[in-house]
Amino acid sequence: MIDQGLFGAIFLTQLVARVKLAFMAEAREKIQEKIQSIRGMNDICDPEIHLWQNLEKTIRETYESFGFVEVRTPLLEPANLFQRGVGTDTDIVEKEMYTFQDRNGDWISLRPEGTASVTRALIEHQWMAEQQTVKVYYIGPMFRYERPQKGRYRQFHQYGLEIFGVENAKADAEIIAAQSLLYEKLNLSEPELRLSSVGCQNCRPAYKEILKAELGKRLQDIPEDFHPRIQTNPQRIFDLKNEKVQKFAGQLPKLLDHLCGECKTHFDSLKAHLTDLKVKYVVDPLIVRGLDYYNRTAFEFTSQHLGAQSAVGGGGRYDQLVENIGGKATPGVGYAGGFERLVLLVEQSLKVENRFDAVVVSADEQGAEAAMKLAMDLRRAGIKTESDLAGRSLKSQMKRADKLKAKYCLILGSREVQNGTVVIKDMDQHQQAEVSKNEIVEHIKKALNV
Ligand code: HAM
């Protein structure tokens, strides 16, 4: 007869072994599970990355030619920065922000836009104490939990610029002109500039009442989930994609027709500056920006080539934002464009050539060692060069030089090493010559004009 204690011990050991096996199988399954990037978040790699780098360069050069200075703010900010800055009643704060508690229990958000962060930095570093006008720009990732589609992602990038400290419309005109020049430099026939004014604290309340009364008469044509908004933010009606609403939206009273004298003068002055600067625009009273901080100027650059996501970028004036975030009252105006949307537009008009200046090719082992050294000398001289690292045959190295669209192919073997020469092949002209090793760097620099 088996002792009951022994039986129990055997049973327990078997149970533990089974549980262990089950855990191991689950762990194996997990290891084999494909790990993919998060929906709406993309890798930007070869060949697209070259276009991104070129665009970034042109954006920087353009903005810096106006005296804007780059600022890089953290991707994470206290959640209440955007609640106070962008507005609790906006889609961005209500539905789209990535907000979570960190290990300390503090509420943190991934930034959905750049203006609130830059404004926080302005206050924190007291930039306005040092200068009357602050002009900054940024390029970087932003995060919004939206439904991904062409031109709309959950991690996307913005290029943006802001001017603080100027109340008159010259600052608005300069922001718009910088943008316009950028799109000109990129040879984009579009985008079209659509311009409006969303008034100020003086004229907006009276207009809101007029609009509310009008919407009250059409409740049956307005989706029920919008009804509470009629009281809080009735202008968002112009942003509704609802078919019934769109039919009558054009007949609703427009804020542009109810501006106070000061807002009207500001808007007229902006239009006059833009005309002077030869920046074309159309007045579009139906523009509603999705952020609450705007007053007076509101504008968008739009393109027909982007499908449903037609906004290339948007911006406007925000004279209360600094105060709302806790700083001294300071006027501000700015713009941000969507980088991915710019890529989509530019892809159609610009072919970026990512060519290597030189590829050093080795015919044998002695040549391979010399090739690595020569490639380094060429890079020191600012020449973009590749040499083989994998010990490929001469034929496959030549094939790779073709693939990299090398302008020059430099061939080294033991014969050349002994003679102190390099064979240089002009890949465009299909000509070949032998040049002294001591002169090769200067020879290529001259040929490339660097
Ligand atoms: P926004 O209109 O919310 O303005 O965004 C500016 C641009 O960012 C849009 O026009 C669009 O091109 C791009 N964008 C927005 N969301 C996405 C997305 N999910 N996927 C791809 N692109 C997107 C602002 O953010 C303001 N901070 C602009 C500003 C600066 N106003 C004054 N200064």
What is the percent of the chain where pLDDT is above 70? 94
Distance CA 69, CA 252 (A): 42
Residues within a 6 A CB radius of ligand 1: 113-115, 144, 146, 151-153, 156, 158, 160, 162, 290-291, 311-316, 334-338, 340-341
Query: pLDDT digits over 67-100, tens only?
Result: 999 999 999 999 999 999 888 888 888 899 999 9
Mean pLDDT of the residues in the chain: 91
Output the CA 160–ligand 1 centroid distance in Å: 9
Looking at beta carbons, which pairs linking 405-408 to residues 24 or more positions away fall under 8 Å?
405/353, 405/354, 405/355, 405/356, 406/355, 406/356, 406/357, 406/358, 406/359, 407/355, 407/356, 407/357, 407/358, 407/448, 408/357, 408/358, 408/359, 408/444, 408/447
Q: What single-letter amino acid sits at 330?
A: T
Q: What is the pLDDT of residues 36-61, one digit of tens each?
A: 999 999 999 998 999 999 999 999 99
More confident residue, 336 or 449: 336
Per residue in 185-199, pLDDT (tens digit) is: 998 877 899 999 999
> Is 80 exceeded by the pLDDT of residue 353?
no
Q: Which range has the worst mean pLDDT, 10-24, 92-106, 144-158, 401-415?
A: 10-24
- Say if residue 6's pLDDT is above 60: no
Strand, coil or helix: what is 107?
Answer: strand
Report the residue count for the chain.
450
Q: For residue 277, give the DSSP letter.
A: T
The span from the CA of 164 to the CA of 133, in Å, is 6
pLDDT digits (tens, 9 = 90+) for 274-315: 999 999 999 999 888 888 899 999 999 999 888 777 899 999
Ligand 1 atom, smallest distance to 318 CA: 32
Confidence tier at 203 by pLDDT (50, 70, 90): very high
Residue with the smallest CA separation from ligand 1 atom 9 is 313
Measured by CA distance, the residue closest to atom 14 of ligand 1 is: 338
pTM: 0.84
